[in-house]
Amino acid sequence: MSRPQIIITVDGKPVSGVFTERLMSVTVMDEEGLSADRVELELADDPPAELPKPGAIISVQMGYAGSGAAFMGEFIAEEIEIRVLPYALRITGKSADLGGDTKDQKERHFDDITLGDLVKKIASEGGLKSSVAPEIASFRYEWIGQIGESNVAFLERIAKRHNALFSIKNQTVIFAVRGSGLTPTGLPLTPYVITRATLAPGSASFVRSERTRYEDVIACYMDRATGKRVEVKVPAEKSGTGSFTMDQPFASKGEAEAAAKSKAKQLLRQGFQFSATVVGDPTIRGGSVVTFANVRSGIDGVAFTVRSAVHRFDKRSGYTTQISGELQE
């Protein structure tokens, strides 16, 4: 394996020399959903180093000499911790949020708007771009209300209806289809096969949990023409029994069907989860699909979706990626 390569810039300026020599570890946390991605840098601080200012933009690339380093994201420096005896610095940062007061609750509604345009409008209010998966971007709402919700809570609720992952990465509000293994623009995330050679000994764990299995999911909407409550039913698991009924009524048949399909997939995912540590690979990201090969019967060939990928470079132990996730749909 080639030597790990770490490239860091602060406010657009590459850092090298003394900074690189002082760097003890870099950790980048790449999450599948809304949890903001984070970075943590640890540096030796003897003699004292010049401190970056909170709010500085930290850009990180990770990889290997020879094959190049992959862009891991841009982060806003949030906290600078100074330690003494021994002397060290710990710098933490997070990816951008929606800006302003994210807890500010709003009362408003949107008429005749596609999901793509709705996400774009809310993202622009925070000075961000948007990217919505083509499969769901064209879904049209006749009416949808943001009733006593912050922008974050509102987008979270909508994402669940469409089985989408709502995240904010690199100044962009993202709605990606959960478990698709695709970026919001439709490009494939690199699938990853974990073998005994890449797996850290003793790090892999798989959990199958007993849960109620439902044959179908029921959601309802109000028929405007008749004023009556109408049910829609979508299949869940063939081996299941009974129905899971969603409490919240929806504004249209299309919304109810989308929400029921999303819930059916969520119920399926919850039954099989995993975690593992592998040789560092910057292509593994939240939302990536991984499988295992020649590890164990019953595990080999099963596709999982990564929910969290923690990339860590340490001068003593090298570059590793710790991942966790659940059964792919």
Residue with tokens 């179908």: 216
CATH number assigned to the domain with residue range 105-177, chosen from the 4 options 3.40.50.300, 3.40.50.720, 3.55.50.30, 3.40.190.10: 3.55.50.30
Determine contact, residues 263/317, Cβ cutoff 8 Å.
no
pLDDT of residue 196: 96
By the 10 Å C-beta count (0-12 exposed, 13-18 middle, 19+ buried), 171 is classed as middle
DSSP 266-299: HHHHTTEEEEEEEE--TT--TT-EEEE-SS-TTT
Tens digit of each residue's pLDDT (9 = 90 or more) over 196-224 = 999 999 999 999 876 677 888 999 988 88
- Give dist(CA 262, CA 255) in Å, integer: 11
269 has a pLDDT exceeding 80: no
Max mean pLDDT among 160-169, 233-242, 302-311 falls in 302-311
- Return the closest-CA partner of residue 59 out of 3, 132, 9, 109: 9
Which residue, 97, 316, 294, is CA-closest to 196? 294
Judge contact between 218 and 260, C-beta under 8 A.
yes
**Per-residue pLDDT at 314:** 95
pLDDT for 103: 61
The burial class, CB within 10 Å (0-12 / 13-18 / 19+), for 264 is: buried
pLDDT at 300: 94
CA angle centred on 186, ends 181 and 192, rounded to 5°: 30
Sequence-distant (≥ 6) Cβ neighbours of residue 302 within 8 angstroms:
272, 291, 292, 327
Q: What is the mean pLDDT of the chain?
A: 87
Q: What does the block give as tokens for 247?
A: 């409490």
pLDDT of residue 43: 92
pLDDT of residue 211: 67
Question: What pLDDT is recorded for position 209?
Answer: 75
Predicted pLDDT of residue 36 = 65
Q: Using pLDDT thresholds of 50, 70 and 90, give the confidence band for residue 54.
A: confident
Spell out the residues 6+ positions from residue 38 whose beta carbon is closer than 8 angstroms to its own. 28, 29, 75, 92, 93, 94, 95
- Kind and range of the H or E element at 153? helix 151-161
Q: For residue 309, what pLDDT is reported?
A: 95
pLDDT-derived band at 8, boundaries 50, 70, 90? very high
102-119 per-position pLDDT tens digit? 568 899 999 999 999 999
Q: Where do the structural domains in the chain lie, given as residue ranges?
A: 4-95, 105-177, 192-209+272-327, 216-270
Is it true that 4-95 and 105-177 share their CATH fold? no
**Of 213, 208, 263, 193, residue with least CA distance to 234:** 263
First and final C-alpha spacing in the chain = 33
Annotation: CATH topology of 4-95: Phage tail proteins - horseshoe like beta roll fold (2.30.300)
CATH number for the domain formed by residue range(s) 192-209+272-327? 2.40.30.150
Q: What is the DSSP letter of 152?
A: H
Does residue 47 have a cis peptide bond before it, meaning omega lies within 30 degrees of 0?
yes
pLDDT, position 2: 82
d(C-alpha 252, C-alpha 325), whole Å: 33
Give tens-digit pLDDT for 124-165. 998 899 999 999 999 999 899 998 998 988 998 999 889 888
Which secondary structure element, helix H or strand E, spans residue 131, and what is its range?
strand 129-132
Give me the percent of the chain exceeding a pLDDT of 70: 91
> Among 81-95, 143-157, 234-248, which stretch is predicted with the lowest mean pLDDT?
234-248
Task: Return the percentage of the chain with pLDDT > 90, whole number.
Answer: 48
Predicted confidence at residue 160, as pLDDT, reads: 87
